[in-house]
Amino acid sequence: MTLSPFKLSFLATYVLVGAFVGVLVIHPLNLVVVWWELSRFSDTAPGLLEFLSARLWLVLLPRHLDVAIAYTLVGAVVGLAFGIFTRNYLRASQAYQSLRDEQTNVIPDLMKRGETDTVEFKSTLRWDVKEDRINRGLEKVIAKTIAGFFNTDGGHLLVGVDDDGKPLGLDKDLSTLKSPDLDSFERTINDIVSKNLGGDLCPSIHTVFAKVDEKDVAMIIIRPAPRAVYMEEGRSSVFYVRSGNSTRQLDVREALNYARSRWT
């Protein structure tokens, strides 16, 4: 794969800077280590500044040119390695940001289309709109919906949206958190999944946020689970799947047959 002129100049800059670092930083640091070793075993060792001034000027002499070249090459290699790392990091960051922007931009479109077999709306995460108070029982409803997506083909759960696809915002839910911000909201979703469905499933969900009509909306992206996902309700383990635009509970026989056909 060929590199563009910009990428070549980018890496060349790091190589050049690294070469200077090799001579002006790595070499003096190495001399400090040498001086420290000498001073440990000799009472007549010169002071650090005297030792450095005497040794550093030697690289300018022709007979010590090989030393200067060696530190230049070491610095250049370090600079090249750091340049490659920086380039790859920037590339990954840009790709990640591009993906997040793409996921965020799809939220208004999903709201317009309405609920489907892969999209569901929830008004809140834990705030009871009817009783105007926090209701942690609603977290079970969120977990049930996510379980249904896990056990089927995955999907998108939008929180802060009413049944008609209108944005309600997340303010009420955020007010129930210790830190009323979107990061805490995302951590709460992960905690719900971990507590009700299993911590090993948290990597299978991803939450993004968007402003719709000046109101925050959360979208939980759920990938199909690598195993059968059961939800503990009382003393029973309940199995949910997505059916049409709703989440349906399977009885024991249906759940076993479904799990055998899907995860074998």
Judge whether 200 and 153 are in contact, CB under 8 Å. Answer: no
Give the whole-angstrom CA distance, residue 43 versus residue 51: 14
Q: Is the pLDDT of residue 29 over 70?
A: yes
The set of residues, in sequence order, having a beta carbon less than 8 Å from that of 134 and lying 6+ positions away, is: 126, 127, 128, 176
Amino acid at 14: Y
List alpha helices for 106-136, DSSP H. Answer: 107-113
Domain ranges for the chain, please list them: 5-105, 112-263
Lowest average pLDDT, out of 63-72, 121-130, 168-177, 199-208, goes to 63-72
Identify which has the larger pLDDT, 104 or 205: 205
Q: From the CA atom positions of the chain, what is the Rg in Å?
A: 30
CA atoms within 13 A on the CB side of 194: 9
Of 97, 123, 105, 100, the C-alpha closest to 207 is 100
Q: Is the pLDDT of residue 99 over 70?
A: no
Stretch 182-194: mean pLDDT: 95
Of 202, 256, 196, the C-alpha closest to 232 is 196
Can you give the pLDDT at residue 15?
84
Q: Is the pLDDT of residue 59 over 70?
A: no
Q: Is the pLDDT of residue 157 over 80?
A: yes
Q: Is the pLDDT of residue 166 over 90?
A: yes
Q: Is 258 exposed, middle or buried (0-12, 13-18, 19+ CB in 10 A)?
A: middle
Q: Is the pLDDT of residue 90 over 70?
A: yes
Identify which has the larger pLDDT, 20 or 65: 20
Q: Which CATH class is domain 112-263?
A: alpha beta
